[in-house]
Structure 1
Amino acid sequence: PSIATQLSLLGYEPNDRLVVEHSDRVISNFEKPSLALRNSTGSSMRMAIDAVASNEADACLSGGNTGALMALSRFRLKLLPGIERPALISALPTAQGNKTWMLDLGANVSSDADSLFQFAVMGSALAEQYLSRPARVAILNIGAEEIKGNDLVKRCSEMLSQTQSVNFIGYIEGNQLLHDAADVVVCDGFVGNVCLKACEGTAQLFIDKLKSSMMTSSIKGWIARKLFSGLFEELKTLNPDQYNGASLLGLRGIVIKSHGSADVSAVVNAMGEAVHEVKRQVPSRISDRLEAVLLERHY
C-alpha cells in the first residue's frame, strides 16, 4: 500500500502541511557516498535535501546512509563561509539532568586542528541556543593535564585558548562525559562515533538488565519492582531514543540524522530537534559566531 493510502486509513489526507512525494530510488546503507552522489536523482534523500535547497522545506530529516547524507548535503546545500567540513553533533544526557553536546560523531573519520577548532565554534553556537550562558567547551583527551594528548588536540587547544569568542575550559576525559563537566565536547569523528555508541550501548544494557529483573514473575521480580521502580524511571532518561537526532552542522541549511532503527518516539524527538534549529535559525547563528571569531583572529 502507498504512503498516501496508509495515511488516509489513519484519518490524514495530503494537504498544505502534509505532502507525499514519490521517489524512484533507494540509497542503501552499503552504498559508497561517491556512488550515491552520482546516482542520487530520484531518491527520497536527494529529494528531501533538494527541498531544503530550494526553500520548499526548512529542514531535512533522514535515517538513511550517513555518508551519503553528508555528501549530498554538502553538494546541494554548500558549506557556510569559513567551514571546511561539516560535523555531526548530538546531545548526551548527564547525571545532573543536563545535556552535553558532542561533535564530531562520525561525519569525518579524521580531522586536522583547524577542523576541530571550527567544530568547537559551531558546537558552542548550537549549545547556546539551549543555554542561558556561554557554553563550556572542552576537547576530549586521554588526560586533563596540558601535557597529555597528541599533536592534534594540543594544536587545537592552543588555538581555542587564544580565542575569546569561545569559552574553552581545557581537556576532559571519557569518564567525565556524562557528568556535566562541559557543555560541548570536541573530538574527531572516529573517536566520537566509537564513544557515542559505547555510551548508548552501556545505557541500554543497564535499562535492559533492570527491566528483565522487574518483569520476572518470581519473588525476586516483585522485590525488584518495589525497590527499583524509581531507579528504572531515572534510567529511562538515559535511553538513546530520547536524544535521537544528530545535526549536521556547517551547512547553509538544516539537516538532521536519525538512527536508522529509530522507533516512533525517537523520530518525533529528531523532528523536535529540527524544529528547534529552524526556529533558532542555527545556520545564521553559526555564521555570526564564525564572523566574530575570524574578526578576532584577524586583529
Structure 2
Amino acid sequence: MIIAIDAMGGDLAPNSNVEGAIAAARKMSEARLVLVGDEARLRPLLADAPQNIEIRHAEEVIATEEEPVKAVRRKRDSSLVVGVTMVKNGEADAIISAGNTGALMTAGLLITGRIPGIDRPALSPIIPSVDGAGVMILDAGANMDAHPEHLLQYAVMGSIYAEKVMGVSRPRIGLLNVGTEEKKGNELTKATYGLLTNSSLNFVGNVEGRDIMEHVCDVVVCDGFSGNILIKTMEGMAKTLLGALKEEFTRSLTSQLGAMMLRSGFKRVKTQMDYTEHGGALLMGVQGTCIKAHGSSNALAIQRTIEQACKFIAQGVNGLIAHEIQKESGDLHA
C-alpha cells in the first residue's frame, strides 16, 4: 500500500514528519511512503532512510491560518492538495496531514468526494481512556450542525472502525448528552436516540462527557459543535493538569524526591493518556483515506498515524461503510 504524507504540514514540519515516516518505513517494509513537499528541504533529511520512502515535489504550502476553501482552490501545487489528489487518482491509498484541518476536510470533500450514502463526513479522533483502549468521537468538528440521520451514519462508521481497526467485538455506541435518561437532551439527541435504538448497532444509550474517559462506550456520536468543544476541553484539561503536576513536583527538594519515587507510575499514566498512541483523526465518510494528525505531532505521532492508515486500508473499512450505510438506509425506509 502507498501512504502519502503532507511533509510540510504541522507545527514541527518537516523534521518530525520525516522522522516519523522513516520509523514507520523501517517497521513496515511492505508499505511505500511518499513524502509530499519541498524536495530541497526534504532530501537532506533522508540520508539514512530505507528504500521504501520517496519524495513527491510540491512547490506550495497551505498555512494553518489560511481560509480552507480559498487555499485549496488557489494552491493546487501545495503539499496537502497534491497528496489528496494522489489519493483521488489512485497514486496513493491514503493521505496524512498535520497541517490545516479545514483545508484537509475541504480537499477531502472537493477532490475525493463522499462515500455513496454518506450525507456528511465526520472528523473522528480517538481520545484516551483510563484503560488505554481509547474512545472514538464522531463528529469532532467537520460539521457544526447535524440531523439525526447524520448521527446514525456516524455511529455506523464508528462501529465499523472500532471493530475492524481497534479490534473491539460488537462496539458499544453512546450518544453524547446532558444526562443518561432517555428523554434528556435537545431535539437532535431525542430524535437520534430513537434511530439508534431501532438500528442494528450495539447502542448503550446516552453518555455524559465526564464518563467518556472511563470507557463507558467505544464510540461516541454527537454533532460537530459539541464534539469539538468536548475534544478541546479535554485537551486543555490534560495540558493544565500535567503542567500543574510538573510545577508541584519541582517546587522543593522533597517534592522532587517524591516525584522520582513515583516516576514509573506517572510514566504509565502518561502513556495511557497520550494522544500519540492512537494515531490521527480520520475524515470518515470520504472516498479514499484522509487522516488529520495533531498539529503538534512529533515523530511518534506521525509513525502511529501511518500505522493506523495501513490498518484502515488493509481492513477495507470504506467498502464496509458503504455496504452498511446502504443496509441501514434500507432498514429505515422498509
Q: Name the TM-score, length of structure 1 as normaliser.
A: 0.92
Q: Which of 92, 96, 118 lines up with 1:57 in the alignment?
A: 92
- Map 1:1-299; keep pairs closer than 5 Å: 2-8=41-47, 11-12=48-49, 15=51, 17-129=52-164, 130-164=166-200, 166-214=201-249, 218-227=253-262, 229-299=264-334
SS state at 2:56 partner: coil
Change in Cα spacing, 1:236 to 1:201, as seen in structure 2 (3 Å) is farther
Find the aligned partners of 1:245 and 1:167 in 2 and give their Cα distance: 25
Moved more, 31-40 or 181-190: 31-40
Structure 1, unmatched stretches of 5+, are: none
Find the aligned partners of 1:245 and 1:150 in 2 and give their Cα distance: 30
Per-residue deviation, 1:224: 2.6
Contact 1:80 1:250 survives alignment (8 Å): yes
Moved more, 273-282 or 88-97: 88-97
Per-residue deviation, 1:154: 0.8
Q: CA RMSD in A?
A: 1.8
Find the aligned partners of 2:283 and 2:118 in 1 and give their Cα distance: 12
Q: Percent identity?
A: 34
SS state at 2:55 partner: coil
- CA displacement, residues 48-77 of structure 1 (integer Å, 9 cap, x when unaligned): 011111111111000111111111111111
Find the aligned partners of 1:295 and 1:42 in 2 and give their Cα distance: 41
SS state at 2:173 partner: strand
Q: In structure 2, give the amino acid aligned to 1:7.
A: L
Find the aligned partners of 1:149 and 1:199 in 2 and give their Cα distance: 21
Contact 2:157 2:285 survives alignment (8 Å): yes
Find the aligned partners of 2:299 and 2:321 in 1 and give their Cα distance: 30
SS state at 1:36 partner: helix
Q: Name the TM-score, length of structure 2 as normaliser.
A: 0.83
Find the aligned partners of 1:231 and 1:18 in 2 and give their Cα distance: 36
Change in Cα spacing, 1:208 to 1:229, as seen in structure 2 (3 Å) is farther
Moved more, 31-40 or 46-55: 31-40
Find the aligned partners of 1:151 and 1:171 in 2 and give their Cα distance: 14
Contact 2:134 2:278 survives alignment (8 Å): no
Per-residue deviation, 1:215: 5.1
Contact 1:139 1:187 survives alignment (8 Å): yes
Find the aligned partners of 2:232 and 2:301 in 1 and give their Cα distance: 16
Contact 2:171 2:219 survives alignment (8 Å): yes
Contact 1:207 1:236 survives alignment (8 Å): no
Moved more, 239-248 or 66-75: 239-248
SS state at 1:20 partner: strand
Find the aligned partners of 1:215 and 1:94 in 2 and give their Cα distance: 27
Change in Cα spacing, 1:26 to 1:231, as seen in structure 2 (3 Å) is closer
Moved more, 166-175 or 284-293: 284-293
User: How many residue pairs get matched?
Assistant: 294
Structure 2, unmatched stretches of 5+, are: 1-39
Contact 2:131 2:272 survives alignment (8 Å): no
SS state at 2:57 partner: coil
